[in-house]
């Protein structure tokens, strides 16, 4: 019988996290690095990479970073290849994503919700749709494809995709492209999981609800806004990247070896409805 420390062991495993220098991606990196994994942060922001790699190394963790745009597939392939050459590639978090901009209704909370002209379907710009899909869906596809080239020949690996509770519900304050991208990513996970199952590679999704990140200009970092949003969440609070640690470790470790093709929602029960 395996001991708990063996069941959740990730020490020495090679990990890549896209969008890894802030928010939820950084939370994944912290969870894995703190438990002995060797982590590469891939991100578009060189300053954040430098800051977070320095902080995590100072804490004694084996972490490196590289700048990449997930829409540049050749560069993404190269950065993942470099990470694999440096410390192997056992686990990949396809996490990079962007703020979709407003939907057709504004104001997440409150009695008055103004209509947003540019967020309505008839006014939704091609360039906005394309950018969200390119990053939040096609970027996930490109990340999984690059990882598969390393994992499939070795017949081992863990692929974890950040989707969203928005893949399961409609939220008029969020632009339509975001929900389409996240729902598409969730079904992509199921399809890739089906293909990879025979190769001992699990593919799963984490679907966050309202989390404090840099998305939306980091508006949820405001404590007053956190409290206001918390009123609509059954758990009575918003989520923080540290709330991801346990789930990230579970899906990246041997503990989840028979779990694949699943999307796990982590949202304080927001997607279930209002409890009070």
> What span, in angstroms and rounded, lies between the C-alpha atoms of 188 and 80?
20
| 46-58 vs 23-33: helix crossing angle, rounded to 10 | 30
Which residue reads 């199952």 in tokens?
197
Please identify which of the residues 28, 104, 124, 178 carries the catalytic annotation. 178
The DSSP-derived string for 30-88 is HHHHTTT-EEEEEES-HHHHHHHHHHHHHTT--EEEEE--TT-HHHHHHHHHHHHHHH-
> What span, in angstroms and rounded, lies between the C-alpha atoms of 156 and 217?
38
Is 178 an annotated catalytic residue? yes
Residues 6 or more apart whose CB falls under 8 angstroms from that of 156 comprise 90, 199, 200, 201
Q: Could you tell me whether strands 14-18 and 38-43 are parallel, antiparallel, or unpaired per DSSP bridges?
A: parallel
**Helix or strand (DSSP H, E) at 111:** none
Of 193, 238, 218, 237, the closest CA to residue 94 belongs to 193
Q: Which residues are annotated as catalytic? A: 178
């Amino acid at each position: 019988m395996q001991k708990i420390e063996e069941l959740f062991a990730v020490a020495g495993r090679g990990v890549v996290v896209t969008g890894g220098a802030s928010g939820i991606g950084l939370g994944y990196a912290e969870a894995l690095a703190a438990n002995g994994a060797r982590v590469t942060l891939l991100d578009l922001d060189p300053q954040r990479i430098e800051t977070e790699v320095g902080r995590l190394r100072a804490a004694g963790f084996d972490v490196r970073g590289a700048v990449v745009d997930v829409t540049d597939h050749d560069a993404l392939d190269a950065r993942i290849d470099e990470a694999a050459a440096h410390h192997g590639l056992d686990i990949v978090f396809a996490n990079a994503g962007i703020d979709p901009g407003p939907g057709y209704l504004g104001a997440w909370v409150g009695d008055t919700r103004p209509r947003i002209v540019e967020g309505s379907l008839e006014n939704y710009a091609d360039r906005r749709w394309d950018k969200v899909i390119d990053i939040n869906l096609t970027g996930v596809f490109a990340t999984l494809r690059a990882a598969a080239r390393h994992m499939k020949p070795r017949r081992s690996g863990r692929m974890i995709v950040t989707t969203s509770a928005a893949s399961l519900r409609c939220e008029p304050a969020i632009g339509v492209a975001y929900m389409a991208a996240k729902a598409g990513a969730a079904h992509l996970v199921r399809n890739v999981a089906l293909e990879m199952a025979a190769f001992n590679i699990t593919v799963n999704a984490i679907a966050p609800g309202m989390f404090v990140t840099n998305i939306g200009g980091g508006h949820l970092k405001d404590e007053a806004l956190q409290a206001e949003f918390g009123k609509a969440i059954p758990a009575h609070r918003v989520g923080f990247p540290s709330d991801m640690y346990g789930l990230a470790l579970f899906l990246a470790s041997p503990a989840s070896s028979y779990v694949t093709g699943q999307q796990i929602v982590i949202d304080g029960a927001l997607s279930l409805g209002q409890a009070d």
